[in-house]
Amino acid sequence: MSATTSAEHEEHPGRIMSGEMAQQPAVLRRILGEGAPRIREVASAIAAKKPRFVLLTARGSSDNAALYAKYLIEIRLGLPCGLTSMSTTTAYGARPSLADVLVITVSQSGGSPDLVASTQAAREAGAVTLAVTNNPDSPLAAVSEFSIDIMAGPEKALPATKTYTASLMALHLLVEGLRGGEAPAAGRLPELAGRILGRQDEVRALASRYRFAERMVITSRGYGYPTAREAALKLMETSYIPALAYSGADLLHGPLAMVDNVSPVIAVVPDGKGGKALQPVLDRLRGRGADLFVVGPAPQVEAASAGFVLPTEGVPEELQPILEILPLQLLAYEVTIARGQDPDAPRALAKVTETR
């Protein structure tokens, strides 16, 4: 880092991450306008091949986006769907038969060697391969039969923000395209995203509660679970707070024992079936006196210790994750700033992970 850049970071810590978070409404609008026709075209070509099974391949934030796609594919398409264990191919040399299988690889950079190698092996094994990436000229796109550009523009901050929500939107449009339909409700999201991001002062006040937190637990169910995982990742890679993400069902199977009135619990409560499934977990958490922070509908926030009311009226549950993560990105940013750290310079992190 140059002396000038270093001075800018000291004067305005987090300016890159903040700027990229603010771009998200425009990125979502771009995908819906410029990107949707290409996504529909790719979806139609893939649907014609009639895949019988879907495998998702990703790392980091893209892995959480892939988990969101898993829910979409299983619920909206009724297709069995799994997450790839890449080391079975890249480290152990396994070559499973993948005829009639759709392999979707999600990667912001499209340059991670293990993702490229795994996708190449899948194609050689007979899979239909699709790259969902922010770099249409990447090695990943080159080895894939099909590719989708998430159109987020250059992302310089190490914590992924706009590429995450762009990936969610692209994957949603893909799945709707595979169903032979469109996604009219998605058109509201850019405006709603702008409204949420405009409430940063509200999040800053909430963040002061967690400045000295030693750990956090984040939970959800259904479509909200990928959001919980992504929020935990954002908190850990910016503020270095150990953040554990659990499905609400898994939280009740043992980890609930570590919850007390000191360590904060963040609950992502979808407005729909996922939120109803999470209700017994919320009841148990309140019964244990947990410091409960809720992102979700107003009645759930009012029943918690603190929270952020999400504008979900008229937004289908499967689209809510694109909005749910926004206040949690802001929270990670504001907690990091409150702790005197720079979210633009998390230690020991790199944009492209060189794993095999």
Last residue of one domain, picked from the residues 187, 217, 233: 187
Q: Mark whether 183 and 255 lie in a shared domain.
A: no
Q: Mark whether 145 and 114 lie in a shared domain.
A: yes
pLDDT score for 121: 93
Q: Mark whether 233 and 170 lie in a shared domain.
A: no
pLDDT score for 9: 47
Which of the following is catalytic: 156, 234, 276, 351? 351
pLDDT score for 182: 80
Q: What is the CATH number of the domain that holds 37?
A: 3.40.50.10490
Last residue of one domain, picked from the residues 187, 212, 247: 187
Q: Mark whether 221 and 137 lie in a shared domain.
A: no
Q: Mark whether 303 and 226 lie in a shared domain.
A: yes
pLDDT score for 289: 84
Domain count for the chain: 2
pLDDT score for 316: 97
- Is 273 contained in some domain? yes
pLDDT score for 347: 64
- Is 305 contained in some domain? yes
3-state secondary structure the chain: CCHHHHHHHHHCCCHHHHHHHHCHHHHHHHHHHHHHHHHHHHHHHHHCCCCCEEEEEECHHHHHHHHHHHHHHHHHHCCCEEECCCHHHHCCCCCCCCCCEEEEEEECCCCCHHHHHHHHHHHHCCCEEEEEECCCCCHHHHHCCEEEECCCCCCCCCCCCHHHHHHHHHHHHHHHHHCCCCCHHHHHHHHHHHHHHCCHHHHHHHHHHHCCCCCEEEEECHHHHHHHHHHHHHHHHHHCCCEEEEEHHHHHCCHHHHCCCCCCEEEECCCCHHHHHHHHHHHHHHHCCCCEEEEECHHHHHCCCEEEECCCCCCCHHHCHHHHHHHHHHHHHHHHHHCCCCCCCCCCCCCCCCCC
Q: Mark whether 122 and 209 lie in a shared domain.
A: no
pLDDT score for 287: 85
pLDDT score for 261: 64
Q: Mark whether 227 and 164 lie in a shared domain.
A: no
pLDDT score for 351: 55
Query: What's the predicted TM-score (pTM) here?
Result: 0.92
- Is 349 contained in some domain? no
Q: Mark whether 225 and 156 lie in a shared domain.
A: no
User: What pLDDT tens digit does each residue of the chain (356 aa) get?
Assistant: 444 444 444 568 899 999 999 999 999 999 999 999 999 999 999 999 999 999 999 999 999 999 999 999 999 999 999 998 888 888 888 888 999 999 999 999 999 999 999 999 999 999 999 999 999 999 999 999 999 999 999 999 989 999 999 999 999 999 999 999 888 899 999 999 999 999 999 999 999 888 888 889 999 999 999 999 999 999 999 999 999 999 988 888 877 766 766 679 999 999 999 999 999 999 988 888 888 999 999 999 999 999 999 999 899 999 999 999 999 999 999 999 999 999 998 765 555 555 55
Whole domain around residue 294: which residue ranges? Answer: 199-338
pLDDT score for 297: 96
Residue 273 designated active-site: no
Q: Mark whether 128 and 243 lie in a shared domain.
A: no
